[in-house]
Amino acid sequence: MSANAQELVNLKDEHRKQLAKRDYQIQSLKGYILEFVTRLPDAQKLEALTRDGAIVNSRFQEALPGEPAPYSYEAARDVIALMFRTDQNNGHGLYFAGEIDWHRHANDMANWNDFTNFYTYLEEEEKVAPKFRKGEMSVMACRNPRGYCQQRTAWIDHLLANYLYQRATREEQRGSHAAGTWAEALVRTCDAKILYRHDGKDGFEQLTPTDTLEQEIRKRLPTKKCRQRNEASDFFGSAPFAPAIIDAN
């Protein structure tokens, strides 16, 4: 081996050692931070969770639109792990973990269907709904320690409705029986419509709009429709909530 080749090998070895040292330091620092946060008094933990929610939102937004900024998703996941250590079912963590998965698999939804974080969010939100369903539709309402808010809940329903609509369409094209998927898609569509209203219009305009979803799904389920919103129970009530879909007759 020539002297130049040996020097290159030595440089590569040194680089690997430096990377290994850096990774060890990073992991050690993460462990220290996690341990520090878990030892905070309860009041300071709540403040930290609210701030962490804002931080993970910033890291997530850095990755949108277009190509993700370097390490933005990874940085978001680090903050999410910190929140879960403090609050196992934190709404910020569940929501952004679900959003990251959604965007990473947006072009491959036909082969991906793991929405565990979104469904866990919805299950947990239903338990605490009276605190976070008060008719406040702005993002500001999401800036709380638990990370649950009405707009966020409705948006998750809207994302799931879009996914289920696409899945039901694929099942239909394959000649499969898709009635169950259409029914679940309608439930999610109606939930989004009931919970979110902007500029006098129910539901969302992004992706496939809520109104379009409802119209297309009802072509397959003509005997079902979304019920009307009841603000007293939907925004200020508690579980179990009235079914989102009712008979059309």
3-state secondary structure the chain: CCHHHHHHHHHHHHHHHHHHHHHHHHHHHHHHHHHHHHCCCHHHHHHHHHHHHHHHHHHHHHCCCCCCCCCHHHHHHHHHHHHHHHCCCCHHHHHHHHHHHHHHCHHHHHHCCCCHHHHHHHHHHHHHHHHHCCCCCCHHHHCCCCCCCHHHHHHHHHHHHHHHHHHHHHHHHCCCCCHHHHHHHHHHHHHHHHHCEECCEECCCCCCCHHHHHHHHHHHCCCEEECCCCHHHHCCCCCCCCCCEEECC
| Percent of the chain clearing pLDDT 90 (strictly above) | 32
Query: Which of 24-38, 107-121, 126-140, 201-215 has the highest average model confidence (pLDDT)?
Result: 201-215
Task: Confirm whether 3 is domain-assigned.
Answer: no
In a domain, residue 187? The reply is: yes
What range does the domain containing 167 cover?
A: 40-247
Could you tell me the two tokens for 32?
């220290």
Lowest mean pLDDT: which of 4-8, 26-30, 194-198, 227-231? Answer: 26-30
Q: Is 57 within a domain?
A: yes
As a whole number, mean pLDDT of residues 191-203 equals 90
Q: What is the pLDDT of residues 25-34, one digit of tens each?
A: 445 445 545 5
Question: For the chain, what percent of residues have pLDDT higher than 70?
Answer: 74
Residue bearing the bigger pLDDT, 207 or 64: 207
**198 beta partners:** 201
The answer to the question of residue 148 being in a domain is yes
- pTM for the complete prediction? 0.78
- Cα separation, 117 vs 133, in Å, equals 20
What is residue 31's predicted lDDT score, i.e. its pLDDT? 55
Total tally of structural domains belonging to the chain: 1
Position 210 in a domain: yes
